[in-house]
């Protein structure tokens, strides 16, 4: 099934809105279907804006929070992604991991292990491969502000800066590391760390998809021209828990301030620009909701992944 945003005739603005709307609808359904799913509601502008201007041959290493819309933007099938999350036969990873392993048969999604920070290493490796082949391909790697405190972050940014690798690192800063508020583990913005590697470090409003795109375009051009990596910190807000069944008791202890909903914000902007009407936006949301519902209905009846699938697609040295 084609995603609603793949219909012909949509303007660029409506297409961006459509991807964010599809992500929101899919996220709500998966939160209800799998209590271990990692919600991404409220972070759609940072997610879509970071990847929407790449070429088809560029590599992507998406954050575990909200990767499915990124994979669909690059050609993945919604049904196979949903099957992956629900542990069904037919999923890209045979239902064995939620959601770390992406659709690697797209050829532009590096393998990662089911642990925080591993995507930084494989993304940096992809950028090194592009440099060695002499192409102008690049990689974009997104991760959370909690992951930014792991050693993987420093090691890979230091190496990428030293070798001037064609990669853009994007911290999808939602203010939480599971139940710990960012004020307790980030004494300064993540973007400030770029100075230690002598690369650009930029902060951007992560709930403004236009602002994210503008910032990304400069970093992408820099990487593609052979000038090395950039670090972007997209400030967004985690509207739900760390996982779907998270009771979020900690939010009463550490209250946070909600940010503007990126869908409402961008939808209002499209209307103000005269690029869309409220009816256009409603139509896209309705189409996204219908596509997600029909996909879930089809996937639910598939067999669960079992022992027969455990040995498939293994990677051996």
Of 167, 169, 162, 92, nearest to 125 by C-alpha is 167
Q: Is 309 within a domain?
A: no
What pLDDT does residue 295 have?
Answer: 98
Q: How many CB atoms lie within 10 A of CB 207?
A: 25
Q: Is 186 within a domain?
A: yes
Q: Is 188 within a domain?
A: yes
Q: Is 256 within a domain?
A: yes
User: pLDDT per position in the chain (317 positions), as tens?
Assistant: 456 676 667 899 999 999 999 999 999 999 999 999 999 999 999 999 999 999 999 999 999 999 999 999 999 999 999 999 999 988 887 776 666 667 766 778 877 767 788 899 999 999 999 999 999 999 999 999 999 999 999 999 999 999 999 999 999 999 999 999 999 999 999 999 999 999 999 999 999 999 999 999 999 999 999 999 999 999 999 999 999 999 999 999 999 999 999 999 999 999 999 999 999 999 999 999 999 999 999 999 999 988 776 666 665 55
The region that residue 29 occupies, defined by phi over 0 for left and psi between -120 and 50 for alpha, beta otherwise, is alpha
Q: Is 316 within a domain?
A: no
Interatomic CA distance for residues 17 and 14, integer angstroms:
5
Q: Is 269 within a domain?
A: yes
CATH number at residue 211: 3.40.50.970
Report the domain count for the chain. 1
Q: Is 312 within a domain?
A: no
Q: Is 315 within a domain?
A: no
Interatomic CA distance for residues 217 and 221, integer angstroms:
6
Domain that holds residue 200: 4-302
């Amino acid at each position: 099934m084609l995603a609603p945003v793949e219909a012909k005739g949509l303007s660029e603005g409506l297409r961006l809105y459509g991807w964010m709307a599809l992500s929101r609808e899919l996220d709500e359904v998966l939160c209800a279907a799998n209590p271990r799913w990692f919600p991404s509601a409220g972070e759609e502008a940072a997610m879509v804006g970071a990847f929407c201007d790449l070429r088809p041959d560029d590599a992507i290493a998406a954050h575990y929070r909200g990767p499915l819309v990124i994979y669909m933007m690059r050609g993945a099938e919604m049904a196979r992604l949903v099957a992956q999350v629900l542990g069904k036969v037919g999923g890209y990873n045979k239902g064995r991991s939620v959601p770390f392993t992406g659709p690697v048969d797209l050829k532009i999604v590096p393998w990662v292990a089911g642990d925080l920070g591993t995507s930084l290493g494989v993304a940096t490796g992809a950028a090194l491969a592009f440099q060695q082949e002499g192409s102008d391909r690049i990689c974009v790697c997104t991760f959370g502000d909690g992951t930014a405190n792991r050693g993987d972050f420093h090691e890979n940014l230091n190496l990428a800066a030293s070798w001037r690798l064609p990669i853009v690192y994007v911290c999808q800063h939602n203010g939480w590391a599971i139940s710990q508020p960012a004020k307790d583990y980030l004494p300064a913005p993540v973007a400030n760390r770029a100075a230690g590697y002598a690369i650009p470090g930029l902060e951007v409003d992560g709930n403004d998809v236009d602002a994210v795109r503008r910032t990304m375009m400069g970093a992408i051009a820099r990487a593609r021209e052979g000038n090395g990596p950039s670090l972007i910190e997209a400030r967004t807000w985690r509207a739900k828990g760390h996982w779907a069944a998270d009771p979020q008791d900690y939010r009463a202890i550490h209250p946070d301030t909600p940010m503007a909903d990126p869908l409402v914000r961008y939808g209002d902007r499209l209307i103000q620009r005269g690029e869309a009407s409220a009816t256009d936006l409603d139509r896209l949301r309705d189409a996204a909701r219908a596509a997600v519902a029909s996909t879930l209905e089809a996937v639910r009846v598939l067999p669960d992944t079992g022992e027969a699938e455990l040995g498939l697609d293994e990677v051996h040295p």
